[in-house]
Structure 1
Amino acid sequence: MMTTTDLAQVLFTTALQPSDELSPCQIREAVDERLCACGGDPAWCAAYVAQETGDHPETYVVRMRWALTAVVGAYALAAA
C-alpha cells in the first residue's frame, strides 16, 4: 500500500503541470503509468524528487504542494 507521500512523489516525476486542468482519473492514470515506467519501484521516484530538490529548490515546494493536494483529491474520490 502506497502512502499519500509516495503517490505525490510519483506524480511529482510526471510531465503533468499544476497549471493543467486535470481530472482525478487523469492524475491516477499518470501515477500508474509512471510507476509502470519505473518497474513499479516508488524508490526511483523518491530519488528523482531528491535530485530535483537539490537542483531546483525554488520550485520544489510549489510542485510538491500541488502533487500532495492533487493525489489527496484524486485518491479520496477513488476510495469513495
Structure 2
Amino acid sequence: MIDYATTFCLATPKDGSFQGITQPGTGVAAALALLRQNGIEVYAEAEISALIARVKALDKALTLKEQANHG
C-alpha cells in the first residue's frame, strides 16, 4: 500500500474539485494511522526496498517453520 500521508495530510477529505470543498469522512492520514494501529504495515513509496526486505524475511521465516514442522 502506498502511504500517501508522506505526500499530503488531510484532516477532512476534499471533494476533488480543488476548490477547498471538504466532504464528511476520514482523511487519508487518519485512515493510514488506523491501519497501522490494527497491525497492518503501511509503506511509503520511497520505502519499497524496506517492503521487499520485509516480505523476504517473512517468507524465510515461514519456510523455516514449514521445514521444522515437516522434518
Which TM-score bucket, shorter chain as reference? Answer: 0.3 to 0.5
Question: Normalised by the size of structure 1, how large is the TM-score?
Answer: 0.33
Higher relative contact order (CA 8 A, sep 6+): 1
Q: Which has the higher helix share?
A: 1
Greater Rg by CA: 2
Question: Normalised by the size of structure 2, how large is the TM-score?
Answer: 0.36
